[in-house]
Chain A
């Protein structure tokens, strides 16, 4: 019960070993071959379908075999069309995301940190949230025309709500006990916001931004359906009207890749800010 015995229990060696153990286990898990199992199903289906079409068991006109989809994608990339459309879509998502996320962060922060603002804003925003965003399309077209502005507006609305809700909720759920630590050291309101509230909400803010970005990609499709001459959504509509399912599937694959890349970039950009978090969240 006395000094030496107990301080030994906390020796750095043990501490280091305890730290090293999970790191090692994690590395081993990263090399786990079972991760590859996930590829098995889609690859098997693709190969089966490819074989079925090439042996003449199926026609593959409405459901083109993988080789034809890849060929279409390749051709679109060769002519440069793919990049033009992808770039247009990305541009719209980006502008809509920046506008929607900025509004969501500002209003969410206000609503989360001031009861008065919350009582003032939140009921209206919650009511607006109940409206399916696509329902705004006719109004946006009337107000903003059929070109870029109305598309960006729709995307911004889609991005706004998850960001607003996420930020406001994150601020409301900041641990009061940590805020008290700030009070004990007599932080001013500004210092409290910078040194405690901001870092405390960052992880949830990143999640809110990610779901906002995901919705942005969802709404860009809707926006491009409502009449666009460029963009991956246009490729979809065009493929339908021209009866080219391979083009539709090629555009869908491009959408998936674009969305994944954008999300990964967002995660990579915000990772240094939430480095301190438990790793469980990183797998989200």
Chain B
């Protein structure tokens, strides 16, 4: 279980990127953070990944306080960030330390199989399309079997077709080990496709506006009425978060009751 307690981040220049964030993500849950740009979504992921230090509050993973990068926490950045001097295979294997060569080979090959790039193992990253590169970067994070996987708008630079296929690859990898996932997105459809819960954020200072459970069964039918309804609910919450910056949202329990109706 990943828990954020009274988490705040104020940058050196005085920007209050996050203020008093409280959030608990259960094991194997997929939570999607939604909000306009500048809500502190990236900041939040960077704190969990240990790439920045929080100004106040704390982050706990199964009770253990996180300070700095942790082997059980993986992150996929907005850009693929592949190392251009390593082959696709070696990029995926980059974080596999202290693993025997045979085990490494087996794990990387399995991941390559999963993301459908098995025949590209020996190619350079520069020879891959943007979508393929992002798949490699997702595989690089998954292959170390993290308990928590953070994704920062990983598909935002891709076209709609590529994005839909990457959603499937991501869910395919997730099904195997069921890590806890925190996915940042500004695409409501994406959130409803992937997440068990949507967390809507608000800027200045960055904080949580509302949380909505998305209890549709998987695999999700993107054309069905329940999907549409969920999308509309999230959109409404987003709308409120923009229109009434200080308004108190309807709390989670009411939503849950409504959601059970489906």
Give the interface of A toward B (CB within 8 A).
1-3, 5-7, 9-10, 12, 15, 19, 177-178, 180-181, 183-186, 195-196, 199-200, 202, 276-278
Contact = CB atoms under 8 A, between A and B. Distances in A.
B74 A184 contact: yes
Given A9-B161, A9-B165, A183-B69, A177 B95 contact: no
Interface string B12-55: 00000000000000000000000000000000000001110000
B168 A178 contact: no
B164 interface: yes
Given A3-B168, A12-B119, A276-B85, A184 B75 contact: yes
A105 B40 CA distance: 41
25 contacts: A1-B161, A2-B164, A3-B168, A7-B165, A9-B161, A9-B162, A10-B116, A12-B119, A15-B128, A15-B132, A177-B77, A184-B49, A184-B50, A184-B74, A184-B75, A185-B94, A185-B95, A186-B68, A186-B69, A196-B83, A199-B85, A200-B85, A276-B85, A276-B124, A276-B126
A3 B119 CA distance: 19
Interface residues of B, number: 37
Contact of B83 (A10, A178, A183, A277): A178
A6 B161 contact: yes
Contacts of B97: 185
B162 A19 contact: no
Query: What does DSSP make chain A's interface, helix, strand, loop or mixed?
Result: helix
B174 to A, nearest CB: 16
Given A2-B164, A12-B120, A181 B71 contact: no
- The secondary structure that dominates the B interface is loop
Contacts of B225: none
Contacts of A2: 164
Given A12-B120, A177-B77, A6 B132 contact: no
Among all A-B residue pairs, the 4 with the closest Cβ atoms: A6-B165, A185-B95, A199-B85, A276-B85
Contacts of A181: 81, 83, 94
